[in-house]
Amino acid sequence: MRILRLLLCCLIPCAGFAGDDVFPIGARSWGMAHAIIAQSARESIVNNVAGIAALQDPAFFAAYHSYHGFDGLSTVAFGAVLPIKKELTSGFSVQRFGDKAYNELSMGIGVAHRINRVSLGIKVNYRQIAALTPSLSISRHAVVIEMGGLVQLSSSLYMGAHIYNLTQSGKSETDLQQIPTILRVGFMYSPSSVIRLSTELVKNTDDPMSLRYGLEYEVVPHLFLRTGFSTKPRIAHAGIGFNARNFSIDYALSSHTQLGISHHFTLAYRPLKEKKS
């Protein structure tokens, strides 16, 4: 059974749940088919570090992702965004995928700075991949650097770009197989304060080019509906989110044409500012 789960963990990411992203995190992102490269949000510390530059308040989040109903195929993630000063923000994230038989761990710290309409960010990650079965024991690790940018083209149009594994780090000094380099570019258009339309192009060095489309609609104040679609692999996405005064909760569902349904949850907390007397 452990060997079967190990094979699933190794093969299924190539088939689509991680696919073009090493660690796609956040139910909001999953609800919009990950077409969020040009948006600013707390989960930007994972999805495009440049997006945290526009955040003015600290925020903390936890996420859980369960893939296709298979035991051991899940991701747990934690992250925080901590503004240093105006238009300069730091953050960190920790993610773990898998179980004792096979797991991937990523820990990273990043910083982003905004100058007028342009935001730039950089993040350094430590990645570890481990497999343990009665007949196999593997442990690989690497330092991975990522960079991102976000530009406000107009009052309603934004463009984002991101590169993961800028230095093409491998899994270890002795391993010829490299962690993929991932290039992403996309746009977000907001025709009104309650609608966000986004599209994204993704190229993983190991996979075909993928297109993503996402939509977020604020039905009533603080209640959001989301949907999206991605190609190669073909995955349909849908989600819902609710923002309270200082808490928010998001849920998303994604459906792979061959592998089935996955579930995604995120809980976030934003400390309230103290009122000045």
- Give tens-digit pLDDT for 258-274: 889 999 999 999 997 76
Q: Is the pLDDT of residue 208 over 60?
A: yes
Domain range for 253 is 27-269
Would you state the pLDDT for residue 100?
A: 84
Q: Is the pLDDT of residue 194 over 60?
A: yes
Query: If residue 15 lies in a helix (H) or strand (E), which one and from where to where?
Result: helix 2-15
Is residue 149 in a domain?
Answer: yes
Report the alpha-carbon distance of residue 52 to residue 119 in Å, rounded: 9
Is residue 212 in a domain?
Answer: yes
Q: How confident is the model at residue 276 (pLDDT cuts 50, 70, 90)?
A: low
Would you state the pLDDT for residue 136?
A: 73
Report the alpha-carbon distance of residue 205 to residue 182 in Å, rounded: 6
Is residue 11 in a domain?
Answer: no
Q: How confident is the model at residue 155 (pLDDT cuts 50, 70, 90)?
A: very high
Which domain CATH number covers 138? 2.40.160.60
Would you state the pLDDT for residue 3?
A: 43
Is residue 4 in a domain?
Answer: no
Is residue 22 in a domain?
Answer: no
Highest mean pLDDT among 14-23, 115-124, 164-173: 115-124
- Give tens-digit pLDDT for 79-127: 999 999 989 999 999 999 988 888 899 999 999 999 999 999 999 999 9
β-strand 182-192 against 102-115: which pairing, if any? unpaired
Query: If residue 263 lies in a helix (H) or strand (E), which one and from where to where?
Result: strand 260-269
Q: Which of 76-90, 120-134, 150-164, 210-224 has the lowest mean pLDDT?
A: 120-134
Q: What is the DSSP string of 33-72?
A: TT--TT---TTHHHH-GGGGGG--S-EEEEEEEE-TT-TT
The answer to whether 262 touches 61, Cβ cutoff 8 Å, is: no
Report the alpha-carbon distance of residue 86 to residue 10 in Å, rounded: 43
Report the alpha-carbon distance of residue 127 to residue 218 in Å, rounded: 36
Q: What is the 3-state secondary structure (H, E, C) of 211-247?
A: EEEEEEEEEECCEEEEEEEECCCCEEEEEEEEECCCE
Q: What is the DSSP letter of 270?
A: -
Would you state the pLDDT for residue 24?
A: 82
**54: buried, middle or exposed (CB in 10 Å: 19+, 13-18, 0-12)?**
middle
Q: Assign 141 to helix, strand or coil.
A: strand
Please report, rounded to a whole number, the percentage of residues in the chain having pLDDT higher than 90: 69
Q: Assign 21 to helix, strand or coil.
A: coil
Amino acid letter for position 167: T
Q: What is the mean pLDDT of the chain?
A: 88
Report the alpha-carbon distance of residue 199 to residue 231 in Å, rounded: 12
Q: Is the pLDDT of residue 206 over 80?
A: no
Would you state the pLDDT for residue 245?
A: 85
Is residue 239 in a domain?
Answer: yes
Is residue 277 in a domain?
Answer: no
Beta-strand ranges (E) seen in 59-135 are 59-66, 74-85, 88-98, 102-115, 118-133
Q: Two tokens at 194?
A: 């309650």
Report the alpha-carbon distance of residue 14 to residue 6 in Å, rounded: 13
Please tell me whether the peptide bond between 134 and the residue prior to it is cis, using omega within 30 degrees of 0: no
Is residue 7 in a domain?
Answer: no
Per-residue pLDDT, averaged over 35-47, amounts to 95
Spatial neighbors of 206 by CB under 8 A, at least 6 apart, are: 14, 180
Domain total of the chain:
1
